Amino acid sequence: MNQRPHSEITAGFLAAFAAFIAWGLLPIYWKGLMGVAPLEILCHRILWSLVFIAIILTFKHRWAETFAPLRSPRNLVILTLSSLTIASNWLLYIWAVNTGNVLATSLGYYINPLVNVLFGVVFFRERLNPLQTAAIGLAALGVANSVVSYGDFPWISLTLAVTFACYGLLRKIAAVESLPGLFLETMVLGPAALIYVLHLLTSGTSGFLAGDTRIDLLLVGAGAVTALPLIGFAFGARRLRLTTIGLLQYIAPSIAFALGVFVYHEPFGPSHLLTFACIWSGLALYTIDSVRAIRRHRRTKADTH
């Protein structure tokens, strides 16, 4: 990593930074489609992502690489599962944003890194160190505060966090790169999405091609707003340290948090603040632990050379 030219590292940082900003601003995009049912938005997101990514793969001559994983039945099963998982995540996210739950989505993606740590324990038998245990404990305390204060289990936040962690786990064990993988996932989901969109069009209940050009353009643009941040993230991830990527990942939920509180004026009282404070404290411990682990790894690696 240190051998990369400074200009390449800077380009990677800017690409990843832009990707996380784009993900953070995504609620604004979905809010522009509030008149369209979330399931219809999801189907258009799938179909136009498929088209957009196909154009990019053609331009970059990556078709052989894209279809290679399908030779393995194991990868085919994993990609089918990851397709269903990410579709569930997308649908819930769109629904949450357009029903006034942007803060819940923010909390979900703040919790996600801690769910990943928990998954490491459950699926890979990794052991929690004291800082990780404290981080997960603080997150649990934040969830408990939400339940006690409002009698409301934060199911939106936790479902988003768990489904995205499951998606990450599935993609980790599938031998496929990010962009080809997203194409295969949207290809799996594409037929069902196309049938549903055609049904809406023929029944006269579609929000697409209903006379509102702005809605039509936003639905078509859903492919670009899905794929472009992923491309930027992948470009940056190959050029930046894991520590940098780990810190940048908090940009998106922080922007969503600001939008929920200051733009959409969602309820945010002292109890909400306490819940977020617990999660933020847990993330601070998690980040400190991650930085220490990377530094230990570097020292160990340096000592062996």
What pLDDT, in 10s, does the model give residues 160-174?
999 999 999 998 888
What's the whole-number mean pLDDT along residues 283-300?
83
What pLDDT, in 10s, does the model give residues 206-253?
999 999 999 999 999 999 999 999 999 989 988 888 778 888 999 999
- Number of helical H runs and strand E runs in the chain: 12, 0
Contact 139, 281 (CB under 8 A): no
Run of H or E residues at 226: helix 213-237
Q: CA of 37: how far to CAs of 49, 156, 213, 233, 270, in Å?
A: 18, 18, 17, 29, 33
Amino acid at 142: G
pLDDT score, position 305: 60
Q: What are phi and psi of 35, to 5 degrees?
A: -80, -5
Contact 229, 14 (CB under 8 A): no
Tokens of 144: 């408990």
Domain boundaries, the chain: 6-303
Q: How far apart are CA 163 and CA 167, in angstroms?
A: 6
> What's the pLDDT band for 300 if we cut at 50, 70, 90?
confident
* Model confidence at 1: pLDDT above 50: no
pLDDT score, position 79: 94
Residue 266, sorted as left (phi over 0), alpha (psi -120 to 50) or beta, turns out to be: beta
* Model confidence at 2: pLDDT above 60: no
* Model confidence at 26: pLDDT above 80: yes
By the 10 Å C-beta count (0-12 exposed, 13-18 middle, 19+ buried), 53 is classed as buried
